[in-house]
Amino acid sequence: MFRVLSEMYQTKMQSTGTDFLSAIVPLMKLISLTVIGLILANPKCQMIPRATFRLLSKLVFALFLPCLIFTELGECMTLENIAHWWFIPVNVLISTLAGSFLGWLVVLVCRPPRQLNRFTIVMTAFGNTGNLPLAVVGSVCHSKDNPFGPHCHSKGVAYVSFSQWVAVILVYTLVYHMMEPPMEFYEIVEEDTEIVEEEEEPADISRPLLVVAEWPGIEEKETEHSKTPFIARIFNSISNISHSTLSDVDLMGETGGTSPRSIMCLAEPKVVRRIRIVAEQTPIQHILQPPTIASLLAIVVGMVPQVKSFLFGYDAPLSFVTDSLEILAGAMVPSVMLILGGMLAEGPNDSTLGLRTTIGVILARLLVLPLMGIGIVSLADKLNILVADDPMYKFVLLLQYTTPSAILLGAIASLRGYAVRESSALLFWQHVFALLSLSIYIVIYFKLL
pLDDT (tens digit per residue) in 58-111:
888 889 999 999 999 888 888 888 888 999 999 999 999 999 999 999 999 999
Residue 253 has pLDDT above 80, yes or no: no
Compute the C-alpha angle 50/140/337, nearest 5°.
0
3-state secondary structure (DSSP) of residue 187:
strand
- Which band of pLDDT confidence, cut at 50, 70 and 90, is reported for residue 221? low
Lowest-pLDDT range, 24-38, 88-102, 195-209?
195-209
Question: Nearest Cα to 199, choosing from 420, 8, 23?
Answer: 420
Rounded Cα gap, residues 386 and 384, in angstroms: 6
What does each C-alpha distance from 36 to 33, 110, 134 come to in angstroms? 5, 36, 19
Rounded Cα gap, residues 368 and 102, in angstroms: 8
What fold, for 50-143+150-182+284-448?
Na+/H+ antiporter like fold (1.20.1530)
Give the pLDDT of residue 430: 93
* DSSP at 200: P
Give the pLDDT of residue 331: 92
pLDDT in tens, 157-197: 999 998 888 888 888 888 887 887 777 655 433 334 343 44
**CB atoms closer than 10 angstroms to residue 142:** 14
Question: Looking at the DSSP assignment, which residues form a beta bridge with residue 196?
Answer: 187
Share of the chain above pLDDT 90, in %: 29
Question: Nearest Cα to 332, choosing from 135, 55, 130, 50?
Answer: 135
Comparing 235 with 35, the larger pLDDT belongs to 35
Give the pLDDT of residue 241: 44
Backbone phi and psi for residue 267, each to the nearest 5 degrees, phi listed first: -70, 150
The predicted model scores a pTM of: 0.80
Residue 250 has pLDDT above 50, yes or no: no
Question: Nearest Cα to 95, choosing from 51, 72, 127?
Answer: 127
Is the CB of residue 157 less than 8 Å from the CB of residue 73? yes
Phi/psi class of residue 149: alpha, beta or left (left: φ > 0; alpha: ψ in -120 to 50)? left
Rounded Cα gap, residues 449 and 444, in angstroms: 9
Comparing 223 with 436, the larger pLDDT belongs to 436
Compute the C-alpha angle 327/332/334, nearest 5°.
110
Give the pLDDT of residue 209: 65
Question: Nearest Cα to 195, choosing from 246, 247, 240?
Answer: 240
pLDDT in tens, 329-386: 999 999 989 988 888 887 787 788 889 999 999 999 999 999 999 999 999 999 999 9
Helices 87-110 + 117-125 axis angle, to 10: 140
Give the pLDDT of residue 240: 47
Average pLDDT in the chain: 78
